[in-house]
Amino acid sequence: MDDMLKKYLPRIKFNSYEDFKTNYKVVVPDDFNFGFDIVDGWAEEEPEKKALVWCNDSGEEHIFTFSDIKKISNRMCNYFRSIGIHKGDRVLLIMKRRYEYWITVTALHKIGAVVIPATFQLTEKDLIYRINAASVKMIICAQDETIISHVENSEQQCPTLQYKALIQESGAERAGWINYTDAYSKQSDTFLRPTGEEAVTANDLMLIYFTSGTTGMPKMVQHIQSYPLGHIITAKYWQQVEENGLHLTVADSGWAKFSWGKIYGQWIAGTAVLGYDMDKFIPQNLLSVMEKYKITTFCAPATMYRFMIKEDLTKYDLSSIHHCCMAGEPLNPVVFEQWERLTGHKLYEGFGQTEGPVLLANFEWITPKPGSTGKPSPLFDIHLVNEEGKDCEIGEEGEIVIRGAKENKPVGLTIGYFNDDAANTKLFAGGDFHMGDNAWYDEDGYVWFIGRVDDVIKCSGYRIGPFEVESALMTHPSVLECAITAAPDPIRGQVVKATIVLTRGYEPSDELKKELQNHVKKTTAPYKYPRIIEFVKELPKTTSGKIRRAALREQDHKK
């Protein structure tokens, strides 16, 4: 047991959180490559070891061993090489929860191409920005007419884009698209580890995630090839996955939560992952899948737990589950208490960002306090600092920072934002990594999350940057100026609220609210639309003319 972990962890078992915090270390080989060292490594040691159990709402099911994924990913490697995709080339993946995603990223990691996951909810505007900002060479899409049409309508404005591949049934055709299934299936299942200039090292770029910002367009978070090793702690010590178990994290492949819960740390720790390709979240369907496949560990956003506890859980046999955790948004203590009462399991909350693995969590030696994000990961020298940059006292609010991260970058942490010197200067100000989140310590060392230093909104597990929503609203003729803030919501945690000053000739009405909501849905990703719209005569501003979003939030919390 733990054979794979032994290659990277000098110690695997610990006696207490203090022992864990002091003695946990990760060894990073100079040539580490997730595809060869983990996927192919398991295929060589245990060829029949399960890697992926996949199903969808149509009753389709596929089960893959590590040997299967090794062979299919090698076919994909050979195909990518045949069309000129090499180390450093950018490949954008809009694959939803298709099983091909797991195999495709394994292949791209092997050849050293840069994976750029993207949500299927992006619009043409979103796609054009991302393709051009990252110089994307190839796009691979799931079979979805909306996705396909957005790509086709965008490509004329994207000069770096050379290839479009579509996941289709064998023999299917669509003008201008490569049948991805047929293309890789014709290739050899043997692919040797690249050498020379094509050799991939632990410090080569591996992955780019676009993350929402508050003052500009989405930033490009860069991760290098050693990034998966940072997620050992996410999977093994927070999610508590079991070797030869079956783990389910609910996440779409376009989000960093997928990297957290559905591939890297889980496969290194030797557990299989369940890929449930659901059309939409229906609590009864998810619970049925959990029961059918007998998952052993489970992770989901707080919103999903809120919906699941409203169901009659006695109808479902969830006895195979040994551990439950959540992340992505603040956890209401009521949800914590009801889930434990109904299932017997405490919820182990964790906290992190697209920029890294789990940073704070209720690890296995910690008894969770409802509402607390737990304690710092041993990978990071985490401090809470006040406005003077000094360590906070117990109970004092401060920003979460990682000391010394610029010079001594911890494994799994981003190397910075691509092509954004200003953002990187802010991110690593003073040599520390600034998370942009506020929290406080209690007398037992637990961290209690307060919220963003900036204004990123967390709604049902999504991170939404106000600037993108404001930009969409400002394209409507009725909007003179606007401010996007997070409003509290009992179901979703937070929802997007738009406070709008109208141009002359327009009057507030319910019809106009609906029109503006639909306008945002059409202009940017639909999940970003404002669920609440308030019309005002003027917005609160600073003396320099900047909108005071904090004042708007305070007003909402008083209502």
pLDDT value, residue 27: 97
The residue whose two tokens read 């052993």 is 296
Query: Is the confidence at residue 436, as pLDDT, over 90?
Result: no
- Phi, psi (degrees; rounded to nearest 5) at 55: -150, 165
pLDDT value, residue 542: 47
Q: Do 314 and 288 meet the contact criterion of CB atoms below 8 Å apart?
A: no
The residue extents of the domains of the chain are 457-558
Percent of the chain surpassing pLDDT 70: 95
Q: Do 106 and 39 meet the contact criterion of CB atoms below 8 Å apart?
A: yes
Query: Is the confidence at residue 173, as pLDDT, over 80?
Result: yes
Alpha-helical segments (H) within 262-384 = 264-268, 283-293, 302-308, 333-343
Q: How far apart are the first and last CA of the chain?
A: 55
Q: Residue 224 in 3-state DSSP?
A: strand
Burial of residue 551 (CB within 10 Å: 0-12, 13-18, 19+) is middle
Query: Is the confidence at residue 211, as pLDDT, over 90?
Result: no
Nearest Cα residue to 4 out of 35, 38, 36 = 38
22-71 pLDDT, tens digit per residue, is 999 999 999 999 999 999 999 999 999 999 999 999 999 999 999 999 99
Q: Do 143 and 165 meet the contact criterion of CB atoms below 8 Å apart?
A: no
Given pLDDT bands bounded at 50, 70 and 90, which one contains residue 383?
Answer: very high
Query: 65 vs 449, which has greater pLDDT?
Result: 65
Distance CA 447, CA 14 (A): 22
Taking CA 548 as the corner, what is the angle to CA 354 and CA 491, rounded to the nearest 5 degrees?
55
Its sign, for the CA torsion 378, 459, 322, 42, is negative
Residue 256, both tokens: 């960093």
229-274 pLDDT, tens digit per residue, is 999 999 999 999 999 999 999 998 998 999 999 999 999 999 999 9
Task: Give CA separation, 30 vs 7, 115, 196, 200, 233, in Å.
Answer: 13, 20, 15, 9, 20
pLDDT value, residue 409: 93
Q: Do 480 and 433 meet the contact criterion of CB atoms below 8 Å apart?
A: no
Given pLDDT bands bounded at 50, 70 and 90, which one contains residue 417?
Answer: very high
Taking CA 349 as the corner, what is the angle to CA 386 and CA 120, rounded to the nearest 5 degrees?
100
pLDDT value, residue 464: 77
pLDDT value, residue 424: 95
pLDDT value, residue 454: 60
90-108 pLDDT, tens digit per residue, is 999 999 999 999 999 999 9
Alpha carbon 119 to chain centroid distance?
Answer: 10
Given pLDDT bands bounded at 50, 70 and 90, which one contains residue 493?
Answer: confident
Residue 498, both tokens: 């738009």
Residue-averaged pLDDT of the chain: 92
Task: Give CA separation, 94 vs 81, 140, 146, 393, in Å.
Answer: 20, 6, 11, 45
Given pLDDT bands bounded at 50, 70 and 90, which one contains residue 558?
Answer: low
Q: Which DSSP letter does residue 547 get?
A: B
Task: Give CA separation, 192 vs 66, 75, 246, 301, in Å.
Answer: 17, 11, 30, 39
- Phi, psi (degrees; rounded to nearest 5) at 493: 85, -60
Its sign, for the CA torsion 3, 9, 10, 13, is negative
How many residues does the structure list for the chain? Answer: 559
Given pLDDT bands bounded at 50, 70 and 90, which one contains residue 544?
Answer: very low
Residue 46, both tokens: 């245990």
Residues 6+ apart with CB under 8 A from 453: 399, 436, 437, 438
Given pLDDT bands bounded at 50, 70 and 90, which one contains residue 451?
Answer: low
Alpha-helical segments (H) within 3-99 = 17-23, 40-45, 66-82
Query: Is the confidence at residue 545, as pLDDT, over 60?
Result: no
The region of weakest confidence among 31-45, 327-341, 373-387 is 327-341
pLDDT value, residue 393: 94
274 bridge partner residues: 53
Query: Is the confidence at residue 546, as pLDDT, over 60?
Result: no
At the fourth CATH level, the homologous superfamily of domain 457-558 is ANL, C-terminal domain (3.30.300.30)
Amino acid present at 98: R
Q: What is the mean pLDDT of residues 190-211?
A: 96
pLDDT value, residue 428: 96
Q: In the chain, what is the greatest distance between 2 CA atoms, to the nearest angstrom?
A: 72
Amino acid present at 367: T
399 bridge partner residues: 385, 438
Query: Is the confidence at residue 81, as pLDDT, over 90?
Result: yes
Q: Which DSSP letter does residue 431 get?
A: G
Strands 90-94 and 136-141: parallel
pLDDT value, residue 4: 96
pLDDT value, residue 307: 83
Taking CA 315 as the corner, what is the angle to CA 312 and CA 317, rounded to the nearest 5 degrees?
120
Given pLDDT bands bounded at 50, 70 and 90, which one contains residue 453?
Answer: low
Percent of the chain surpassing pLDDT 90: 75
Distance CA 242, CA 444 (A): 29
Secondary structure of 117-179 in the HEC alphabet? ECCCCCCHHHHHHHHHHHCEEEEEECCCHHHHHHHHHHHHHCCCCCEEEECCCCCCCCCCCEE
Q: What is the mean pLDDT of residues 490-512?
A: 91
Given pLDDT bands bounded at 50, 70 and 90, which one contains residue 216?
Answer: low
- Phi, psi (degrees; rounded to nearest 5) at 82: -65, -25
Nearest Cα residue to 121 out of 546, 526, 556 = 526
10-21 pLDDT, tens digit per residue, is 999 999 999 999
Amino acid present at 444: D
Q: What is the mean pLDDT of residues 344-348?
A: 95
